[in-house]
Amino acid sequence: MELYPLKFDPIFSSRIWGGKKLKTVLNKIYNKESIGESWEISDIKNNETTVSEGNLKGKTLKQLIEMFKGNFVGNRVYNIFGDNFPLLIKFIDAKEPLSIQVHPGDSLAKKRHNSFGKNEMWYVMQAEKDAELIVGFNQKTTKEIYGEYLKNSSLSKLLNVEKVNKGDVYYIPTGRIHAIGAGVLLAEIQQTSNITYRIYDYDRIDATTGKKRELHNDLALDAIDFEFNNNYKTTYNIKTNISTKLIHSPYFKTNIINVKGELIKNYSKLDSFVIYMCTEGNLEIVYNGNYFILDIGETLLLPAITTQIKLKSTNSTILEVFL
């Protein structure tokens, strides 16, 4: 069997805060209510996405890595991660605000959960009027000060709240307290991890259990980075048919491309898989004489063996993700 650009069947997750935009805006097909997340490419245990088309249909990421090794993920990536796929790719629809939360870093996550940490980034695809995000602290603080605010139920006074608009980008390193606000639709790129420490959840009752969701404040205290930043948002200037840097971290690299007309991409020297997330419009991808259509809300994985492809679009925007 030969490798080719791969689409995967998404896994849809019901969430207490989920809405309908994954269906109405991103054209996802599902029957459940309150779907908050579409896991596009996942190697999380019991939530593994499978190839949706072609000769490799039904294969999981682990099976693909076992079959093709470095040809699939890149030799450099394979030497580091072996049969584990390093990234989890999602679209998230927040009809209501998510819990205020934090993720542990690699060492703490390994010690407590035998897991990777969860460094992640957000690209805002759509934001309703006055939609907000919580990212980091709004002032210098310490573990002791934080504990007092938490104890007095006044944590919100410490948190940095930002109005958001389409195209806004935020990097959320492990340890940074954060929350997606109501009315935000976004693309999320993260390490392969499902470890979240919930700090505050607005005293909501989960309809599926009839109870409040569990909080993890004792665990969170050792995971939080209390550093204060003056600016948490990533600035960039998008240019047509050029890969514009958004986030280049030790865990993943993400660029944005506005595609108009035809664009040739050469990945022969990259030694990594590449993931495209279409955030606006649609495009045609030509590889070895075969044509692949990528619409808004769809994701495509180019195996590392892919050297050169052609992108064609009247006007579309994609995120370009690799290691």
Q: Tell me the backbone φ, ψ of residue 240, rounded to 5 degrees.
A: -65, 130
| Interstrand relation of 244-248 and 282-287 (parallel, antiparallel or unpaired) | unpaired
Of 96, 116, 102, the C-alpha closest to 172 is 102
CB atoms within 10 A of CB 308: 12
Length of the chain: 323
Strand-pairing partners, residue 116, are none
SS3 letters for 244-299?
EEEEECCCCEEEEEEEEEEEEEECCCCCCCEEEEEEECEEEEEECCEEEEEECCCE
DSSP label at residue 156: G
Select which of 15, 76, 176, 198 is catalytic.
198
251/167 Cα distance (integer angstroms): 22
In the 8-state DSSP scheme, what is residue 54?
A: S
Task: Write out the two tokens for 272.
Answer: 């990594």
Tell me, yes or no, if 213 is annotated catalytic. Answer: no
Strand partners, 8: 51
- CA 214 to chain CA mean position, Å: 23
Active site residue ranges: 198
